[in-house]
Amino acid sequence: MAVAMSEKFEKYWKVSNIALAVACFLDPRYKKILIEFYMKKFHGDSYKVHVDDFVRVIRKLYQFYSSCSPSAPKTKTTTNDSMDDTLMENEDDEFQNYLHELKDYDQVESNELDKYMSEPLLKHSGQFDILSWWRGRVAEYPILTQIARDVLAIQVSTVASESAFSAGGRVVDPYRNRLGSEIVEALICTKDWVAASRKGECIYVIMKFQFIVIQQLFYLY
């Protein structure tokens, strides 16, 4: 029994959702540090390989959002600008275009993302509203803010461990891990009617309807 549960744990551990790590990275209190900590804890000396893979995922995600946001401001370094100005005075148009391509590529790689990673971690201080934190930094991190808005909006669903790692087969069937449109509608109506019941309305109808919904959920008829 223990061996079967261990095998199932290893199976799901290898296919863990990268979105969870990205969400952790977007928390200014942890960033990449917490990911490195657990990578080292679970993977030992080879943790750097996994961290590098994660950073590549982050950079690809950033590049994708950057390509979809052409109006986002780009950070230009003085060194690159001066080098371009000096060389462009003496070189042909083809080489000048090549320099511009290199400069644009470097900007995608090293502006907001590297700035965010290089800044110190935010200190823990009571309750922290990560969505408000990102909302207040739209001007500073326009692209990362878009990523945070999309990634942090993903809801995480959980299943009881005794069901997820049961060696007895698929315990959580499709009827338990999702609700049909009719059941959802019934539950919404029930909620509204329960709210109305506080005003002394339709008590009997509400209780009868709730019983019908419970029957449908547990297949009692």
Q: Is residue 90 part of a domain?
A: no
Domain count, the chain: 2
Cβ within 8 Å of residue 172, ≥6 positions away: 159, 163, 164
Q: Please report which confidence band the pLDDT of residue 126 belongs to, taking 50, 70 and 90 as the band edges.
A: confident
Q: Is residue 191 part of a domain?
A: yes
Q: Is the pLDDT of residue 131 over 80?
A: yes
Q: Are residues 125 and 203 in the same domain?
A: no
**pLDDT above 60: residue 2:** yes
Asked if the structure places residue 102 within a domain, the reply is no
Provide mean pLDDT across the span 49-64.
91
Mark whether 187 and 126 lie in a shared domain.
no
In sequence order, the 6+-apart residues with CB closer than 8 A to the CB of 99 are 83, 84, 87, 88, 91
- Predicted pLDDT at 136: 93
Is residue 122 one of the residues assigned to a domain?
yes
* Confidence (pLDDT) at 134: 94
- Which residue range(s) make up the domain with 130? 2-75+111-151
| pLDDT for the residue 61 | 92
The model's pTM is 0.53
Residue 204 has pLDDT above 80, yes or no: no
In this model, does residue 132 exceed pLDDT 60?
yes
One domain for residues 119 and 186: no
pLDDT at 26 over 80: yes
Do residues 209 and 123 share a domain? no
My answer on whether 115 and 213 are in the same domain is no
In this structure, are 143 and 189 located in the same domain? no
Residue 143 lies in a domain: yes
- The pLDDT assigned to 188 comes to 78
Q: Is the pLDDT confidence value at 147 over 90? A: yes
| CB-CB contact of 154 with 19 (8 Å) | yes
130 and 51 within one domain: yes
Residue 196 has pLDDT above 60, yes or no: yes
Query: In this structure, are 59 and 15 located in the same domain?
Result: yes
Confidence class for position 221, pLDDT limits 50, 70, 90 = very low
Clarify whether residues 129 and 34 are in a common domain: yes
Per-residue pLDDT band at 68 (split at 50, 70, 90): confident
Nearest-angstrom CA–CA distance, 47 and 53: 10
Three-class SS of the chain? CHHHHHHHHHHHHHCCCHHHHHHHHCCCCCHHHHHHHHHHHHHHHHHHHHHHHHHHHHHHHHHHHHHCCCCCCCCCCHHHHHHHHHHHCCCCHHHHHHHHHHHHHHHHHHCHHHHHHHCCCCCCCCCCCHHHHHHCCCCCCHHHHHHHHHHCCCCCCCCCHHHHCCCCCCCCCHHHHCCCHHHHHHHHHHHHHHHHHCCCCCHHHHHHHHHHHHHHHHCCC
Give me the percent of the chain exceeding a pLDDT of 70.
54
In a domain, 91, yes or no: no
In this structure, the answer to whether residues 119 and 214 fall within a common structural domain is: no
